Amino acid sequence: MITVFTGQGKGKTTSALGEAVLAYSQGKRVLMVQFLKGSTYSGELVGLNRLAIPIIQFGVGCRWAGMIRTGMKHCTGCGECFRENRNPEIALDLVKQAFDFLSTEVAADTYQVIILDEISHALNRGFIDINLLKELLQTGSSLDWILTGRGMPETIESVVDNWYDLNMLKHPFSQGVSSRRGIEY
């Protein structure tokens, strides 16, 4: 099965994490690969680590991640990490490394669930060919795949079984409330 969590709202990665925990609770081996995210301070790093679910990041991280993780600093939303991860000079190699890693893991048949977090950014920016991804998704027929990210290309819909479009109707962020540790990150 292939599931997509996309949309302009929050909750895409969180939804994938919920699926990961359910699969893990049933004895399935789960892997999360994050595209164009690196050494962030997000809760999924801590949570999945506690469950011994590997989360592998292929991306440039925030220079303040360590201080933000400990609570000494709060994310200012400067966007430096996002800009670096969108730079083709950096991103093309990172996405290739991620894809090569995934191909090896699929061939090893170690996992039953693989999450491709933020894969839509790599697709939308042309850092990975959608046909290569489709081939990989159809390689492991016994695998459950979960793909996340804003603006998932609709051309992938033909191989997808479940498609969720998450859009914000109301959120404290739109009222000026900063992101909350343990809730948004």
Residue pLDDT, tens place only, 55-67: 999 987 777 777 7
pTM of the model: 0.88
Instruction: Please check whether residue 85 lies inside any domain of the structure.
Output: yes
Confidence (pLDDT) at 41:
64
Instruction: Please check whether residue 53 lies inside any domain of the structure.
Output: yes
Instruction: Please check whether residue 98 lies inside any domain of the structure.
Output: yes
Instruction: Please check whether residue 180 lies inside any domain of the structure.
Output: no
Confidence (pLDDT) at 128:
94
Domain count, the chain: 1
Instruction: Please check whether residue 185 lies inside any domain of the structure.
Output: no
Instruction: Please check whether residue 184 lies inside any domain of the structure.
Output: no
Q: Long-range pairs for 23-30 at CB < 8 Å and ≥24 separation?
A: 23/112, 23/113, 23/144, 24/51, 24/53, 28/111, 28/112, 28/113, 28/144, 29/110, 29/111, 29/112, 29/113, 30/111, 30/112, 30/113, 30/114, 30/115
Q: What is the domain-level CATH number for residue 82?
A: 3.40.50.300
Confidence (pLDDT) at 175:
84
Parent domain of 17: 2-175
Instruction: Please check whether residue 14 lies inside any domain of the structure.
Output: yes
- Whether residue 181 is predicted with pLDDT greater than 80 in this model: the reply is no
- pLDDT-above-70 percentage for the chain: 94
Instruction: Please check whether residue 182 lies inside any domain of the structure.
Output: no
Confidence (pLDDT) at 130:
95
